[in-house]
């Protein structure tokens, strides 16, 4: 292409050239603005309004300042639910990352046949839709005919005949956590394994020659290259586990007597079931604040990593 | 560092045990779905089906509304994924093949949006759909699933397009192709795997989604399969055989898709978050 050729390009074409990227961007941008940007603003404004079913039908706009927030944080039940959600998230994340890391390290030591078997097993658990997994767990823990109670009776623990696993909030939460961890481990394990595999073998050999213990080898050879990936999967796990609604709701709808109610469930019950939209919006905002608070550390790490790569 | 042989054997045994534990719920779901009904409601201890029957599947397909829910799920999921992949691909091309004002800002926005807890928008989303008369209609779920799957799809496709050198397109343009033709003939065919991977991840997300399906379909019309499954187990006196059959049917397409993208599985999920 010569310079003269460029000068003879007709202007309308050039205008299209400058417009083209914006035209390409438009569908995605408009969708994000209308269905994400607007609701994000709307959740804030709604949280400062008195908005129940009555106001909704009458089309009234009643601004009440921080009343919704004061009402929510003035309720001791809310703090209990917040604490429960944070502890539940922490337990799920720690177990997920811990087990996944052990599995990733284990996979490195296996012969290819055994490793393939383990990976296929993990993959199937990962592929299982959340609701399919939830119904199977309900069936396994079923009071009358569940295989778990049958097994416990079969090995001589007769007390577990027709034992109900859902009489307390704590055991209900524990079973839900088991389900969450069981489904979350495969992805994390595979991700970490991909990182473990890329560590050069000779580093291990030189560590072996230096007479390093297996713990020292793990600390000095395995952990450093894994660290960024560990931070990432921890962060992702916090995000996922904190927001879990389907499994919690499907098990006991937050019961028994509110014993497995978490923040996402509270938001649903307050807003959709009871029709207190203003209050529920305040809960949503507080939920995001809590989530940001517990993941801020990782968020900083990630954004720094992103920034350095660009 | 190679462990000694005895240790290796132990590790293999351990790995197989973990694999068996992992497979158990999947096995239990499928095997319960073909067990005779009287075995399901017996107190005898058994880990294998004592017969093979497709009765539970027949029950689900003929005596329940499964097919209606399935239709809703398929319509919503397929439409939302198509919209997300199309709009995501356009945006990915804009970000990766053009330099324009506001580009960096948009990239940052997508990054942040990817991490946004979408569940926290439940209330305004419900009110929005109510105000636009979309409650209880499939388009409400299509719109929500479109925007849920869009950020990840956009980001991943952008990485894929970035991975295809622009030189190829430029070479084609020197040979007399227009900009669009060059993309269509050169880059698009190479994007195949990326488009498939994105579509599958978006599909699985939408296929599984529960909260919005519950909230945006208050009268029960247009609800999707996850809601159907939950309603199965929340009523008293559950038909476990039929429930397991439904769960198995619900899992089939996901497994099929997992097999298709298994290569990109791990890199696919983290690509959006790791690669800047």
**What one-character-per-residue DSSP string does chain B give?**
-PPPHHHHHHHHHHHHHHHHHHHHHHHHHHHHHTS-HHHHT--S--SS-SS---HHHHHHHHHSSHHHHHHHHHHHHHHHHHHHHHHHHHHHHHHHH---TTHHHHHHHHHHHHHS-GGGGHHHHHHHHHHTT-TTSHHHHHHHHHHHHHHHHHHHHHHHHHTS-HHHHHHHHHTT--HHHHIIIIIHHHTHHHHHHHHHHHHHHHHH--HHHHHS-TTSTT--HHHHHHHHHHSSS--HHHHHHHHHHHHHHHHHHHHHHGGGHHHHHHHHHH--
Q: Is residue A304 scored above 80 in pLDDT?
A: no
Q: Nearest-CA residue of chain B relative to A16?
A: B179
Contact B243 A38 (CB under 8 A): no
* More confident call, A14 vs A53: A53
Report pLDDT for A4.
Answer: 45
Chain B residues with CB under 8 Å of A6 CB are none
CA A25 to chain B, closest CA, distance in angstroms equals 4
Report pLDDT for A132.
Answer: 96
Q: Is residue A102 scored above 90 in pLDDT?
A: yes
A–B interface: beta-carbon pairs under 8 A: 289
Facing residue for A129 by CB, picked from B40, B45, B254: B254
Question: Which of A278-292, B28-42, B254-268 is the least confident region?
Answer: B254-268
Chain A residues with CB under 8 Å of B113 CB are 32, 36
Report pLDDT for B228.
Answer: 93
Report pLDDT for B2.
Answer: 56
Q: Is residue B117 scored above 60 in pLDDT?
A: yes
**Can you tell me the mean pLDDT for A99-125?**
94
Peptide bond into B70 cis (omega under 30): no
**Can you tell me the mean pLDDT for A94-103?**
97
Q: Is residue A76 scored above 60 in pLDDT?
A: yes
State how far the Cα of A145 lies from the Cα of A149, in Å rounded to an integer: 8
Contact B255 A36 (CB under 8 A): no
CA B38 to chain A, closest CA, distance in angstroms equals 11
Confidence label for A11 from pLDDT (cuts 50, 70 and 90) = low
Q: Does residue B230 belong to the interface with chain A, where contact is any CB pair within 8 Å?
A: yes
Report pLDDT for B276.
Answer: 34
Q: Does residue B13 belong to the interface with chain A, where contact is any CB pair within 8 Å?
A: no
State how far the Cα of A152 lies from the Cα of B36, in Å rounded to an integer: 23
pLDDT in tens, B130-159: 999 999 999 999 999 999 999 999 999 998
Task: Kindly report the pTM of this predicted structure.
Answer: 0.90
Which residues lie closer than 8 Å to B71 by C-beta, 6 or more apart? none
Facing residue for B233 by CB, picked from A109, A135, A305: A135
Tokens of B87: 């709009």
Question: Which of A45-54, A283-292, B174-183 is the least confident region?
Answer: B174-183
Report pLDDT for A23.
Answer: 94
Report pLDDT for B238.
Answer: 83
**Can you tell me the mean pLDDT for B90-112?**
90
Q: Does residue B266 belong to the interface with chain A, where contact is any CB pair within 8 Å?
A: yes
Q: Report the share of chain B in percent with pLDDT over 70.
A: 92
Facing residue for A128 by CB, picked from B16, B229, B251: B251
Contact B91 A24 (CB under 8 A): yes
Q: Is residue A203 scored above 90 in pLDDT?
A: no
Q: Is residue B129 scored above 90 in pLDDT?
A: yes
pLDDT in tens, A278-297: 999 999 999 999 999 998 88
Report pLDDT for B264.
Answer: 65
Confidence label for B275 from pLDDT (cuts 50, 70 and 90) = very low
* More confident call, A5 vs A81: A81
Q: Is residue A78 scored above 60 in pLDDT?
A: yes
**Can you tell me the mean pLDDT for B230-235?**
76
Report pLDDT for A205.
Answer: 85
Average pLDDT, chain A: 91
Confidence label for A171 from pLDDT (cuts 50, 70 and 90) = very high
Report pLDDT for A149.
Answer: 95
CA A79 to chain B, closest CA, distance in angstroms equals 18
Confidence label for B235 from pLDDT (cuts 50, 70 and 90) = low
Report pLDDT for B3.
Answer: 60
State how far the Cα of A15 lies from the Cα of B6, in Å rounded to an integer: 72
* More confident call, B259 vs A70: A70
Report pLDDT for B245.
Answer: 96
Q: Is residue A7 scored above 70 in pLDDT?
A: no
Q: What distance lies between CA A294 and its chain's CA centroid?
A: 13
Facing residue for B123 by CB, picked from A122, A246, A277: A277
């Amino acid at each position: 292409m010569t310079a003269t050729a460029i000068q003879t390009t007709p202007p309308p074409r050039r205008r299209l050239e400058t417009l083209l990227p914006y035209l390409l961007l438009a569908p995605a941008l408009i969708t994000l603005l209308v269905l994400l940007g607007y609701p994000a603003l709307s959740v804030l404004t709604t949280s400062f309004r008195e908005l129940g079913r009555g106001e909704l039908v009458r089309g009234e706009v009643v601004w009440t300042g921080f009343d919704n927030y004061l009402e929510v944080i003035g309720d001791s039940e809310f703090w209990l639910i917040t604490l429960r959600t944070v502890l539940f998230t922490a337990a799920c994340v720690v177990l997920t990352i811990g087990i996944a890391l052990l599995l990733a390290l284990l996979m490195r030591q296996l012969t290819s046949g055994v490793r393939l078997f383990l990976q296929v097993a993990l993959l199937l658990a990962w592929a299982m839709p959340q609701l399919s997994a939830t119904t199977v767990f309900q069936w396994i823990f079923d009071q009358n005919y569940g295989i778990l109670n049958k097994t416990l009776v079969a090995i001589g623990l007769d007390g577990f005949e027709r034992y109900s696993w859902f009489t307390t909030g704590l055991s209900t939460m524990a079973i839900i956590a088991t389900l969450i961890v069981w489904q979350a481990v495969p992805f994390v394990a595979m991700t970490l394994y991909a990182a473990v595999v890329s560590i050069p073998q000779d580093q291990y050999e030189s560590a072996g020659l230096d007479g390093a213990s297996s713990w020292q080898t793990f600390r000095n050879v395995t952990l450093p290259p894994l660290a960024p990936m560990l931070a990432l999967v921890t962060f992702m796990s916090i995000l996922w586990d904190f927001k879990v609604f389907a499994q919690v709701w499907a098990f006991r709808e937050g019961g028994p007597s509110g014993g497995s109610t978490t923040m996402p469930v509270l938001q649903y019950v307050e807003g959709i079931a009871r029709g207190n939209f203003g209050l529920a919006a305040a809960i949503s905002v507080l939920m995001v604040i809590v989530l940001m608070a517990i993941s801020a550390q990782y968020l900083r790490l990630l954004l720094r990593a992103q920034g350095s790569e660009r | 560092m190679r462990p000694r042989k005895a240790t290796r054997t132990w590790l293999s045994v351990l790995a197989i045990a973990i694999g068996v534990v992992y497979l158990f719920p999947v096995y239990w779901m499928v095997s319960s779905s073909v067990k005779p009904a009287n075995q399901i409601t017996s107190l005898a201890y058994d880990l294998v089906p004592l017969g093979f029957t497709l009765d539970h599947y027949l029950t689900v397909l003929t005596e329940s509304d499964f097919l209606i829910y399935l239709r809703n799920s398929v319509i919503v999921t397929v439409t939302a994924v198509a919209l997300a992949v199309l709009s995501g691909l356009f945006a990915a091309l804009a970000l990766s093949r053009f330099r324009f004002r506001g580009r960096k800002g948009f990239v940052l926005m997508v990054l942040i949006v990817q991490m946004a807890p979408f569940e926290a928008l439940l209330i305004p989303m419900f009110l929005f759909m109510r105000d636009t008369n979309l409650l209880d209609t499939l388009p409400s779920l299509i719109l929500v699933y479109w925007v849920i799957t869009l950020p990840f799809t956009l980001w991943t496709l952008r990485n894929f397009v970035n991975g295809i050198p622009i030189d190829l397109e430029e070479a084609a343009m020197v040979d007399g192709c227009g900009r669009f033709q060059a993309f269509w003939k050169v880059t698009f065919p190479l994007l195949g795997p990326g488009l498939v991977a994105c579509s599958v991840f978006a599909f699985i997300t939408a296929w599984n989604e529960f909260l919005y399906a519950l909230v945006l379909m208050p009268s029960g019309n247009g609800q999707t399969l996850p809601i159907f499954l939950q309603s199965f187990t929340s009523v008293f006196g559950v038909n476990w055989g039929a429930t397991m059959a439904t769960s198995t049917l619900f899992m089939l397409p996901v497994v099929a898709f997992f097999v298709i993208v298994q290569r990109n599985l791990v890199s696919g999920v983290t690509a959006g978050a790791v690669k800047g």
